[in-house]
């Protein structure tokens, strides 16, 4: 609200521009309210409503892309939200991952006799928080989006109440996530103390028009440090990664896929908003910290992933390594933060987030099918003989693993090439070399899984994996997209590049 002569004037609300968020909230309310007041819906309908909601929200964001490029960037609701191509691309990424996860979750819940609207509503609520984080033009609103996302993820991680490991993962995630949120909120308070505002536009103006004296610059630097700690936890960057293996392994596999895709995309969008867009004048202060986090994540994630024997823990450490790769792009973006002409850092990060979100959901979808046929076992032994039992499923898993390794003609190669090229363009040769070495180390991890899948004989008593229609559709779509981008990436790279022109 805006006070003027003792009269409160509400800010204008651009309903159409807010339509992706409205669609996600409406879908969640529909599932919760109508689902609670009506008899059990026909099988699969909860999942299809959630998937349709995510698809509609993503389509609305896609429609608004041209509006941004035609009319330029702007802000919504009194400057609280940014309306730019950055926000639209993050929205599309989150909605695509939510769509796939909803399809994967359908059979998982029905086979366990737990089909209901609650999990799908939480997916949509978490997605709403992620979209707000990617669109926020105010640090307080960004924090609200972060908490909306986080609270939903805490509940989702512990949603399988019959499994002690699920309850344990939810508690661990909640306790450590609460500490991270406290760091982030205290960081916002210190930045406010130094700049007298939490609005990103006003923060930038403060740095442009005044010199921070009387210790205010110290407040801002301390605030930046705490913001990095809070967001470093959310993206699972080393040394804030300790929750990741246990939570990923203990949570239901479909929830793990959601955390690894939507959670990571939203958190990295927040990092770009806070550091690159809101605090470009301190880039020489925060960029070395990002450099260190990137190197630690690359090395620790790749090395520890290789020695694991459980595939879910392997993919958990792999996600830490991927966070390192994305931080390479963030570090590259820091070189040009605040400049009139931005480099390739930000587009490479947004491209990586979209491609990684799709292929990681596909990877965990295959893991979920294998675990279901092996009594919940996700060790390497459970994948032995998968090619003999289900060759198409083994082929899809191989595509996802090759993409995560960065093999050419897959989307993973485009993603990793993009961030490394961005680092080289900024003459960050050391971090680019470390990233390439880490990619080679991590390739051994994916090779281990492929060897178990294709070359090792499985137990004859192992049940042949059943592939439900919705899960099969999600896996097929993810595999096709992974190959399509690997062969024909130009259109996506051009779209991502427009973010440097149409970002607020």
Pairing status of strand 74-76 against strand 7-9: unpaired
Secondary structure (H, E, C), 384-405: CCHHHHCHHHHHHHHHHHHHHH
- pLDDT for 319 equals 94
Q: What is the pLDDT along the chain (504 residues), one digit of tens a residue?
A: 445 556 767 777 888 899 999 999 999 999 999 888 888 888 778 999 999 999 999 999 999 988 888 888 888 888 889 998 999 999 999 999 999 999 999 888 887 777 788 999 999 999 999 999 999 999 999 999 999 999 999 999 998 888 888 889 999 999 989 989 999 999 999 999 888 889 898 888 888 776 665 556 788 899 999 999 999 999 999 999 889 999 999 999 999 999 999 999 999 999 999 999 988 888 889 999 999 999 999 999 999 998 898 999 999 999 999 999 999 999 999 988 777 777 888 999 999 999 999 999 999 999 999 988 887 888 888 888 888 888 999 999 999 999 999 999 999 999 999 999 999 999 999 999 999 999 999 999 899 999 999 987 766 656 677 788 899 999 999 999 999 999 999 999 988 888 876 555
Residue 191 lies in a domain: yes
Distance CA 294, CA 423 (A): 12
The three-point CA angle 272-273-279 to 5° equals: 95
Contact (CB, 8 A) for 285 and 222: no
Going by C-alpha positions, the residue among 298, 305, 301 that lies closest to residue 431 is 298
Residue-level pLDDT at 273: 92
Give per-residue burial for 208-223: e unless 16+ CB within 10 Å, then b.
eeeebeeebeebbbbb
Residue 219 corresponds to which tokens in the numbers above?
Answer: 């407040």
Q: What are 42's two structure tokens?
A: 């026909």
Within a domain: residue 216? yes
CA distance 269 to 387: 38
Query: For residues 143 and 269, what is the distance between their CA atoms, to the nearest angstrom?
Result: 13
**Residue 6 is assigned to a structural domain of this protein:** no
Q: Which pLDDT does position 381 carry in this prediction?
A: 87
Please classify residue 284 by burial: count the beta carbons closer than 10 Å to its beta carbon, then call 0-12 exposed, 13-18 middle and 19+ buried: exposed
CA-to-CA separations, 229 to 73, 242, 327, 447, 451, in angstroms, rounded:
30, 13, 14, 33, 38
- Structure confidence by residue, pLDDT tens digits, 407-429: 999 999 999 999 999 999 999 99
Whether residue 150 lies inside any domain: the answer is yes
pLDDT tens figures, 136-166 = 999 999 999 999 999 999 999 998 888 888 8
Q: How many helices (H) and strands (E) does the chain have?
A: 21, 4
How many structural domains is the chain composed of? 1
Examine residue 266 and state whether it is found in any structural domain, yes or no.
yes
Structure tokens at 426: 């900024």
Domain hosting 191: range is 14-500
**Which contacts qualify for 339-346: CB closer than 8 Å, 24 or more apart?**
339/280, 341/500, 342/500, 342/503, 343/422, 343/425, 343/426, 343/500, 344/418, 344/421, 344/422, 344/425, 344/497, 345/276, 345/419, 345/422, 345/426, 346/86, 346/272, 346/276, 346/499, 346/500, 346/503
3: part of which helix (H) or strand (E)?
strand 2-4
- Euclidean distance between CA atoms 433 and 423, whole angstroms: 10
SS (H, E, C) 86-147: HHHHHHHHHHHHHHHHHHHHHHHHHHCCCCCCHHHHHHHHHHHHHHHHHHECEHHHHHHHHH
pTM as predicted? 0.94
Element housing 81 (H / E):
strand 81-83
Q: Determine the Cα–Cα distance for residues 304 and 313; give it in Å rounded to an integer.
A: 10
CA–CA separation, 392 vs 500, rounded Å? 40
φ, ψ at 123 (rounded to 5°): -60, -45
Q: Are 393 and 471 in contact (CB under 8 A)?
A: no
- CA 35 to chain centroid, in Å, comes to 28
Q: Is 199 helix (H, G, I), strand (E, B) or coil?
A: strand
Give the torsion sign (CA, 341, 344, 345, 351).
positive
Assess if residue 2 is contained within a domain: no
Residue 7 lies in a domain: no
Write the CA distances from 51 to 347, 441, 468, integer angstroms: 27, 36, 16
151 SS3 class: helix
Specify the pLDDT at position 215.
55
Kindly report the number of other CB atoms within 10 A of residue 446's CB atom.
Answer: 26
pLDDT at 229: 93
Burial class (CB in 10 A: 0-12, 13-18, 19+), 166: buried
- For residues 61 and 371, give the distance between their C-alpha atoms in angstroms, rounded to a whole number: 35
Q: Is 281 helix (H, G, I), strand (E, B) or coil?
A: helix
Query: Omega before 397 cis (within 30°)?
Result: no
492 lies in a domain? yes
Q: Tokens representing 442? A: 């991590």
Q: What is the per-residue pLDDT for 463?
A: 66
């Amino acid at each position: 609200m805006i006070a003027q002569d003792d009269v409160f004037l509400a800010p204008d609300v651009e309903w159409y521009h807010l339509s992706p968020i409205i669609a996600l909230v409406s879908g969640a309310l529909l599932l919760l309210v109508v689902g609670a007041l009506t008899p059990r819906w026909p099988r699969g309908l909860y999942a299809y409503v959630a998937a349709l909601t995510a698809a509609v929200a993503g389509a609305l964001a896609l429609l608004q892309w041209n509006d941004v490029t035609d009319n330029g960037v702007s802000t919504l609701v009194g400057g609280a939200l940014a309306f730019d191509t950055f926000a639209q691309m993050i929205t599309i990424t989150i909605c695509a991952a939510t769509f796939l996860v909803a399809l994967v979750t359908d059979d998982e819940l029905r086979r366990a006799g737990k089909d209901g609207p609650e999990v799908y509503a939480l997916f949509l609520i978490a997605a709403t928080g992620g979209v707000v984080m990617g669109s926020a033009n105010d640090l307080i609103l960004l924090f609200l989006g972060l908490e909306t996302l986080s609270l939903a993820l805490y509940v989702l991680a512990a949603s399988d109440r019959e499994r002690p490991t699920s309850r344990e993962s939810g508690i661990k995630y909640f306790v450590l996530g609460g500490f991270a949120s406290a760091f982030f909120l205290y960081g916002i308070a210190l930045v406010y103390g130094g700049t007298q505002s939490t609005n990103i536009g006003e923060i930038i103006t403060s740095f442009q028009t005044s010199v921070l004296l009387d210790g205010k610059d110290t407040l801002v630097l301390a605030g930046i440090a705490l913001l990095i700690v809070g967001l470093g936890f959310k993206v699972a960057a080393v040394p804030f990664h300790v929750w990741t293996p246990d939570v990923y392994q203990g949570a239901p596999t479909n929830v793990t896929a959601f955390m690894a895709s939507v959670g990571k995309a939203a958190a990295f969008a927040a990092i770009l908003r806070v550091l690159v867009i809101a605090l470009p004048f301190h880039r020489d202060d925060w960029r070395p910290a990002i450099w260190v986090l990137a190197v630690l994540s690359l090395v620790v994630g790749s090395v520890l992933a290789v020695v694991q024997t459980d595939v879910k823990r392997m993919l958990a450490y792999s996600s830490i390594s991927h966070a390192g790769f994305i931080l390479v792009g963030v570090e590259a973006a820091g070189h040009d933060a605040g400049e009139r002409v931005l480099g390739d850092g930000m587009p490479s990060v947004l491209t990586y987030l979209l491609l990684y979100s799709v292929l990681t959901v596909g990877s965990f979808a295959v893991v979920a099918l294998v675990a279901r046929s092996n009594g919940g076992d996700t060790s390497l032994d459970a994948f032995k003989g998968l090619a003999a039992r289900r060759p198409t499923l083994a082929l899809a898993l191989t595509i996802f693993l090759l993409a995560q390794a960065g093999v050419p003609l897959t989307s993973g190669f485009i993603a990793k090439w993009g961030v490394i090229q961005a680092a080289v363009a900024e003459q960050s040769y050391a971090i680019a070399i470390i990233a390439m070495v880490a990619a080679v180390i991590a390739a051994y991890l994916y090779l281990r899984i492929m060897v178990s899948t294709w070359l090792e004989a499985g137990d004859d008593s192992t049940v042949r994996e059943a592939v439900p229609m919705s899960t099969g559709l999600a896996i097929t779509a993810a595999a096709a997209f992974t190959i399509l981008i690997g062969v024909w990436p130009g259109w996506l790279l051009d779209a991502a590049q427009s973010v440097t022109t149409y970002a607020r």
